[in-house]
Chain A
Amino acid sequence: QVQLVQSGSELKKPGASVKVSCKASGYTFTSYAMNWVRQAPGQGLEWMGWINTNTGNPTYAQGFTGRFVFSLDTSVSTAYLQISSLKAEDTAVYYCARDHGGSYPSWGQGTLVTVSS
């Protein structure tokens, strides 16, 4: 069955960088786009963007350009989210979610990134 397994929680200082991984299994990785969704503490879901797993071309939502980078390693069926110059307001749970015709039936378990001095 489809599984998305994300890397563990991270505690970072402001200004640092973090790279979250999302390892896929149970399907052909390059056949479905991967989305990233942010959820700040006590807040709703926010779509960050997606990456075409066939071409590697990313698309970023407004507010997620510049410091946020989506990447892939198709040899290990893994998508990555890197955030640079971390700020306190980046503290959130980050989810990867496999696209299926615009809906997201499969999600990773989430990765908590905490930014604190």
Chain B
Amino acid sequence: DIQMTQSPSSLSASVGDRVTITCQASQDISNYLNWYQQKPGKAPKLLIYDASNLETGVPSRFSGSGSGTDFTFTISSLQPEDIATYYCQQYDNLPTFGQGTRLEIK
């Protein structure tokens, strides 16, 4: 199985801050990488697919980049409604998720 190492596991930031989360794959996965947002008690929501494509309806402050083994997810200006846990997910082989990053407001 391909392992996804996501960091940090938790993050505290202020409204307006630029926030970055990274995900590293245990082997080359090309751009087969998605990012999800999950709020408490809710199903995950797809934000970014194929490493860098913004899902329809998702605010442009969210972005993704990377290929191969190293990927980055960025919120350009943190908003209060962005408080959630974020997950990366690879689908190069049998899908696996990263362990998640809990984002809090400072």
Q: Give the interface of A toward B (CB within 8 A).
A: 35, 37, 44-47, 59, 61-62, 95, 97, 101-105, 107-110
Contacts and interface: CB of A to CB of B under 8 A. Distances in A.
A107 B42 CA distance: 10
Interface of B: 1, 32, 34, 36, 38, 43-46, 49-50, 55, 85, 87, 89, 91, 94-100
A44 B100 contact: yes
B49 A45 contact: no
A99 to B, nearest CB: 9
Contacts of A102: 32, 34, 49, 91, 95
A44 B34 contact: no
Nearest to B34: A103
Given A44-B85, A45-B100, A103-B46, 4 more contacts: A47-B89, A102-B32, A102-B34, A103-B34
B43 A95 contact: yes
Dominant SS among interface residues on chain A: strand
Given A102-B34, A102-B91, A105-B55, A47 B96 contact: yes
Contacts of A44: 85, 87, 97-100
B43 A110 contact: yes
Contacts of A45: 36, 38, 44, 87, 89, 97, 100
Contacts of B94: 47, 59, 61
Contacts of B45: 107
A103 B99 contact: no
A19 to B, nearest CB: 20
A84 B93 CA distance: 27
B46 A105 contact: yes
A35 B100 CA distance: 19
Contact of B97 (A47, A101, A103): A47
B43 A103 contact: no
B51 to A, nearest CB: 11
Interface-central residue, A59, A102, A105, A109, by most chain B CB under 10 Å? A102
